[in-house]
Amino acid sequence: MWWFQQGLSFLPSALVIWTSAAFIFSYITAVTLHHIDPALPYISDTGTLAPEKCLFGAMLNIAAVLCVATIYVRYKQVHALSPEENVIIKLNKAGLVLGILSCLGLAVVANFQKTALFAAHVSGAVLTFGMGSLYMFVQTILSYQMQPKIHGKQVFWIRLLLVIWCGVSAFSSILHCTM
């Protein structure tokens, strides 16, 4: 175990749990106050009116910080496992930048409701999902590059299936926003 990972293995789980809680709590609040129709609203609709927009924004800001921390730990992990390989170093740096841009987009989505500043909200969503998809793609390539010595084949294939699913979802979301 490396110094930067000790005690940080909870970050990915905390990120997923916290982000899910942000969506669930803002949804419950919006439904309870009759601000949205409970039947499959857009996530952004659950964070449009007060008080749920405050909860939505604050919790997603914390999620963005957790996401940056998770991405940085992954960056340091790959760096420690492959310190001399030029291709992996470049991909790892690209992944770090893409991941941080995705987190920045999440913070923009959290702080600019779609009813207040629609262009900023959609730009943040595109940044989050677009850069997030590219980040996942880079991590998939890194898994492929590192699989002979570090990752097993199953890690690569799982990431490949997830990045395809994420890419299709992000593409369909962008198409839906532009129509």
Supply the DSSP string of 75-96, one letter for each residue: HHHHHHH-SS-HHHHHHHHHHH
3-state helix, strand, coil in the chain (%, to 5): 75, 0, 25
- Report phi then psi at 36, rounded to 5: -140, 160
At residue 5, the pLDDT reads: 56
pTM attached to this predicted model = 0.85
On whether the CB atoms of residues 87 and 145 are closer than 8 A, the answer is yes
Residue 115 tokens read as 């009813």
Residues in contact with 143: Cβ distance below 8 Å, sequence separation at least 6, in sequence order: 151, 155, 156, 159
Per-residue pLDDT in tens (0 to 9) along the chain, 179 residues: 455 556 788 888 899 999 999 999 999 999 999 888 888 887 778 877 888 888 989 999 999 999 999 999 999 988 888 877 788 899 999 999 999 999 999 999 989 887 788 888 888 988 998 899 899 999 989 888 887 666 667 778 888 899 999 878 877 876 776 66
Q: Where are the domains of the chain?
A: 11-178
Residue 52 tokens read as 């749920």
- Distance (Å, rounded) from C-alpha 45 to C-alpha 80? 42
